A = this chain, B = another copy of it.
Amino acid sequence: MAASIHISLKHKSYLREPESTELGRKIISESIKIIDALGFEQFTFKKLAAEIGSTEASVYRYFENKHKLLVYLISWYWAWVDYTVTFQTHNLPDPRQRLNKALEVLVNAGQEDDPNVAYIDERILYRIVVAESSKVYLTKEVDAENKEGYFLEIKKFCRHLAQLVLAVNPDYPYPHALVSTAMEAAHQQLYFASHLPSLTEIKYSQHAVEETIQFLKHLVYSAIDNSK
């Protein structure tokens, strides 16, 4: 198990920093469990407050609304994945090895003993990311929230992956489009495997993650190696 780390976000989707207080950390850890159990639509601050033995009003002192809490969780996740990829590719000399490892982390994140944080269960958070993450930007407020910097972490990770792609082939013309597609596909294919299996060849089993990695690697390298 890696040493304890601290992930800090570049924006303020929160009103008060949740990492800094006991109540704040309970809000994070318990909201992860409830969103996973009920889905984001059925998740309310009232249910959360009841679960942590606090009140709605107290939760509202940390986050303006549940959407901003989701933004926080998803941003935290991308910052954490970015850190994990940096960490895991650190000593790999070959660009292909680095991209391989990055894709493995992208699909596998939350399954292994990556760097972790005590009050966040990355495995459950990963399920939330798979099922709920597109809801953070598929709203009418996307442009305003983008200006506030709410998507800096996902953009940073996208840039990071795109650089790994360009290190393999500097002539590939769509590095960001390719990796943003792969980032979404990683989660979607796992979701399809367990809920809409006729949309994918990936089988819902203990090998789903490996199959998804295989699919993504084939997709990504076929595209990269087929340029110039």
Chain A residues proximal to chain B, CB less than 8 Å: 38-39, 41-42, 131-132, 134-135, 137-140, 142-143, 146, 151, 154-155, 158-159, 173-178, 180-181, 184-185, 188-189, 191-192, 195-196, 198-202, 215, 218-219, 221-223, 225-227
Q: How far is the CA of A158 from the CA of B143 in the complex (A)?
A: 31
**Interface pairs (13), CB distance under 8 Å:** A135-B138, A137-B196, A146-B195, A151-B196, A155-B198, A173-B201, A174-B218, A177-B201, A177-B202, A180-B199, A181-B181, A184-B184, A222-B225
Is A199's CB under 8 angstroms from B154's CB?
Answer: yes
What 15 additional pairs, Cβ within 8 angstroms, besides A177-B202, A221-B226? Answer: A135-B138, A142-B196, A143-B195, A146-B195, A151-B196, A154-B199, A174-B201, A174-B215, A176-B198, A177-B201, A181-B189, A181-B219, A185-B185, A219-B219, A226-B226
Give the number of copies in the complex. Answer: 2
Q: How far is the CA of A175 from the CA of B218 in the complex (A)?
A: 12
Q: How far is the CA of A131 from the CA of B143 in the complex (A)?
A: 13
Is B135's CB under 8 angstroms from A42's CB?
Answer: no
Nearest Cβ on chain B to A94's Cβ, whole angstroms: 20
**A178-B219, A218-B174 known; A199 vs B158 contact (CB < 8 Å):** yes
Q: How far is the CA of A202 from the CA of B192 in the complex (A)?
A: 26
Residue on B nearest A226 in the bound complex, by CB: B222
**A38-B140, A39-B139 known; A181 vs B185 contact (CB < 8 Å):** yes
Is B135's CB under 8 angstroms from A198's CB?
Answer: no
